[in-house]
Amino acid sequence: MYLPTTFLAIGSTGLGKSTFGQLLCDAPTIVSTGTSSTACEATLYEKNSFRYIDTPGFNDSEGTTDEETFHQILRLLQRHSKHGVFEIHKILWFCAENERKAANLQNEAKFIQRLVDYVEEVDSANLWKNVIIITKGTLPEEELANGPKSAAYDAMRASMTKNNRTNVEDEDEFIVEDEFIVEDEFIEGGEQIVDHFPCWIFDLKPGPNKFTKMKPELRAHLNAYSKKEVVTALQGRITNDTVIKIKFKEAYCTKCSEKGDPRLFIGRCHPSQASKHEIEIEKYHPKSADLQHKGKHIQRHWKPEDGDPSKGKLADGIDGTTVGAVSSAVGSLGAGAYVLNVAAAAQPGIIFGGTAIAGTIALPIVAAVGLAAAGGYCINEKLKENYKCRYCKKFYNEKGCLEECDDCGKEWNSEGCISKYLCCNKCEREDGCELRERCKNCDQTEYKLTTKGCIEYCQECNKTWGETKGCDLNVEHDIIFVNMIP
């Protein structure tokens, strides 16, 4: 005999569901100290070849209705199903000893019976054959399980009545016929098909007790077992190979977040759809950035560091070696040497203005004076009036011919030295000069976004459409089935 793979535990709090889970699959166990369920939600535990599904207690789960608990259990089974099928080998129904069918037992039996809606028709009769009623106690009287068994019988009868009533015209004939149908299904070999396993696990707490030294045979007569013995005893009660195959449909709602089997969808859905952008206000520059000069726009004449003027704008330049030599000689003199007397410099051969004076030294001296002037030296204003730029042929005291940036020294028409926006002349990393709307989701930008929104939402609750739980109980789901016929 072998222990089946999967157990589904159902029952009220404090009757041993979590304890059996710990014994079978090492599931963590929290000892119940009140009427609230120790299992807050349905949980599947698995170890070796065994699986155990611990569930919240019906009637005692705080803040959760029994219907929600039932749906929660089935959603768990669907998540762990293979190709839409979840197999259960035994349902362990934990009940308090009771000769009468109490209201809580009727309620629990009703939910067990509802599993029939999720199995194939040929498997429906096997449902209660795979249920074991477990009661916690040492009294062997079978009468103490009559309450759960009667509740199971009534649940099965009510289900069959509901499913078959439309096929019978005579109501009285149906009632009589229904009684025989249910009895045939529920009684096998003269006995009810629902098994009963009364047990008391005496070694859950440390220390000796009255059962410790008893012989196993006597303990078994009193339904008292050790932790190991109760697992063996449970194995002995598994006498058939039938499996409950829970079958699920796969679908989703286009309006809310419900997915899975439509029979398990919550009753709320979203009523009306709208779209919007997720808008934020940002600063921006309406025009692009361009390289500009950081300094001022200045105009000047040629100076020595500009290099050989004959390679630039100079049309009929001078000897580069002479210019360099004279420039060096002049540059080594003190500033006072450049405050020259015009009369002293006016020797034959020197060119001042447009008047030619003979002499071979004229050009170097004038060039030197010109170089010094171009270099920014303190030059007698009279010399500026008489010395011309070889680029533009204008005197040095006239408007310069070379345009440049006084910060980077580059030609003004060359590539700038700093990137600035054309709209406001701010540097590239500075905040924008105008405001606009931008959608954080789709990144669209406009002064005022008027395009269709990229986010679908519910107009009633403002939650995301198709991705959040519904808000209206009076709205039906828009169900799309996946890879199957509904």
Residue 30 in tokens: 């929290």
Closest CA to 366 of 336, 395, 335, 405: 395
Whether residues 78 and 222 fall in one domain:
yes
In a domain, 294, yes or no: no
Nearest-angstrom CA–CA distance, 317 and 439: 64
As a whole number of Å, the CA-based R_g of the chain is 50
Whether residues 242 and 261 fall in one domain:
no
In a domain, 415, yes or no: no
Residue 281 in tokens: 């206000």
In a domain, 405, yes or no: no
Whether residues 157 and 11 fall in one domain:
yes
In a domain, 290, yes or no: no
Q: What is the structure's pLDDT at 80?
A: 93
In a domain, 244, yes or no: yes
Question: What is the amino acid identity at position 80?
Answer: H
Whether residues 239 and 314 fall in one domain:
no
Nearest-angstrom CA–CA distance, 14 and 18: 9
Asked whether the beta carbons of 93 and 134 are under 8 A apart, the reply is yes
Whether residues 347 and 463 fall in one domain:
no
Q: What is the structure's pLDDT at 318?
A: 38
Whether residues 261 and 279 fall in one domain:
no
Sole residue written with tokens 């229904």: 178
Q: Please, which residues have CB within 8 angstroms of residue 68's CB and are 6 or more apart in sequence?
A: none
Q: What is the structure's pLDDT at 122?
A: 60
Sole residue written with tokens 């991705």: 467
| Low pLDDT (below 50) residues in the chain | 1, 31-35, 165-178, 180-181, 189-190, 313-379
Nearest-angstrom CA–CA distance, 383 and 202: 123
Whether residues 27 and 62 fall in one domain:
yes
Given 356, 381, 400, which residue is the final one in a domain?
A: 400
Q: What is the structure's pLDDT at 383?
A: 64
Domain count, the chain: 4
Whether residues 66 and 174 fall in one domain:
yes
Asked whether the beta carbons of 158 and 174 are under 8 A apart, the reply is no
Q: What is the structure's pLDDT at 304?
A: 76
- Please report the DSSP string for 11-66 in residue order: E-TTSSHHHHHHHHH--------SSS-S-SS-EEEEETTEEEEE-PPTT--TT--H
Whether residues 265 and 280 fall in one domain:
no
E strand or H helix at 439, and its extent? strand 434-439
- Please report the DSSP string for 367-432 in residue order: HHHHHHHHTT----HHHHHH-B-TTT--BTTSPPSEEEETTT--BTTS--SEEEETTT--BTTSPP
250-287 burial: b if 16+ Cβ within 10 Å, else e: bbbbebbbbebbbebbbebbbbeeeebbebeeeeebee
State the maximum Cα–Cα separation within the chain, in Å, rounded to a whole number.
Answer: 150
Print the domain residue range for 449.
274-284+432-455
In a domain, 55, yes or no: yes
In a domain, 209, yes or no: yes
